[in-house]
Structure 1
């Protein structure tokens, strides 16, 4: 594991790099939730699954978290910082590798919003917050619908943030539990590993 610090237009970001044991067929960037960090159990499980599929992983810590703030930055700042991190890592660490964007909750939203501009070949969403709890009218489903590349959504069956719908290029896998996705972590690893292997095979 290697740690990197990256300057962005909105402050210093950090990335924790986990290399696949046998080379790398792609690189997966994973972002954290609004109030959480990169040590979230589902992010760790997804990292394990991705590296097993031969994919390098960068767990990305947004500048507001590096600066010690709990409240997330505005969406535009999150997206700009994320793309700056992706550019840096692509140039210095993951040269010539296809990029997969991903994250949990708020980090999943960032991955979806930036997938096209960042030229991601796929997106992995853990606990995508379709709407605030109890407010289904305030839907974020359009952020998912706008993603033009294959997308995996791993969602808790009883997640109060709602449940995304499947689409022709979007797989939704339901897991026991809520928004934390702390149950059946080995299954999350397997799901991410198998999905990435299938999606990346045509690019190998």
Structure 2
């Protein structure tokens, strides 16, 4: 895999599985990209984490395991605040600065890059997609509004992405259930009974494994359809 050479500071370590951990200097501090490479990659899916967790989220791990076989290299991006060990995410403009800072490394392989993220990371991807030239946007658990406050809608961020967009949303997500989303130029896939982290109750008619298959299957089909 070609390494980026135009970032402020780039170092990388590759393990025996081919997974590469790459540190990239940004204006917001050091970020980290964990590359899960496809043997014959045609796209890069770069996915950022949410404000309450990191790249260990179940859906991000599932995508990293499932997509490379289909020619999609998955790059899991850890924001500088997370790399530094802080527990509270910074303001949106700082998150955007961190994402902008890793973009040259993400485009380093010379492939179209899908900007993605879960929760707060999805908002970052939507806000910056047009200016960075993202090929498309993947929004996992897009936080349409704070829980219990539907009047504080963030729909403008989603609708303003300006590129093909896939939203994968839990059916019971308190940050916005699928029925609450406005009409717009995006595709929405529901994970039945899923919460904000795509966790499903034990008594649900869908298993946790199946819920993750809905996520990975939807993303696999959508990426295959992108020109």
Same fold (TM over 0.5): yes
Q: What SS does the aligned partner of 1:148 have?
A: coil
In the superposition, the TM-score normalised over structure 1's length comes to 0.92
Structure-2 separation of matches of 1:89 and 1:172: 25
CA deviations 1:29-69 (Å, max 9, x no partner) are 10001010101001112223432331111100000001111
Question: Structure 1: 5+ residue runs without aligned partners?
Answer: none
Deviation (angstroms), 1:165? 3.2
- Structure 2 equivalent of residue 77 of structure 1: 94
Structure-1 separation of matches of 2:23 and 2:88: 21
1:4-43 matches, within 5 Å, as 4-21=22-39, 23-43=40-60
Q: Aligned-residue CA RMSD in angstroms?
A: 1.2
1:8-157 matches, within 5 Å, as 8-21=26-39, 23-91=40-108, 94-95=109-110, 97-157=111-171
1:49 and 1:188 in contact (8 A); partners too: no
When the two structures are aligned, how many residues end up with a matched partner?
A: 195
Question: Structure 2: 5+ residue runs without aligned partners?
Answer: 1-18, 200-207
- Give 4+ residue runs of structure 1 displaced > 3 Å after superposition: none
- Structure 1 equivalent of residue 189 of structure 2: 173
In the superposition, the TM-score normalised over structure 2's length comes to 0.83
Larger radius of gyration: 2
CA deviations 1:110-167 (Å, max 9, x no partner) are 1001101110010001100000000111111100010111100000001100133342
